[in-house]
Amino acid sequence: MLTAYKFRVYPNEEQKETFSRYFGCSRAKTHERVTNQRNDFLHKVSTAITKRFDTIIIHSWEDVTPRVYKSL
């Protein structure tokens, strides 16, 4: 049988600062990991596309001039 307990913590100011620092660092590491996973995925997809096609044209709505990339 599994038993669970819930606790309510009322930290003082020093403990609040320590908790904030710890959880803020944990959040930053999680965001960094997600960013790295997204960049890895985009790199893999763009590499597969450039291997499949000779020329790729990327058009941005902010930029009027389209960019042309040729595979080597």
Confidence of residue 12 (pLDDT cuts 50, 70, 90): very high
To the nearest 10°, report the CA torsion of 45, 37, 60, 47: -20
The CA radius of gyration of the chain, in Å to the nearest whole number, is 24
Q: Which residue has the higher pLDDT, 44 or 62?
A: 44
Confidence of residue 63 (pLDDT cuts 50, 70, 90): low
Query: How is residue 16 written in tokens?
Result: 């609040």
Q: Specify the pLDDT at position 71.
A: 59
> Who's near 22: CB < 8 A, 6+ residues apart?
none
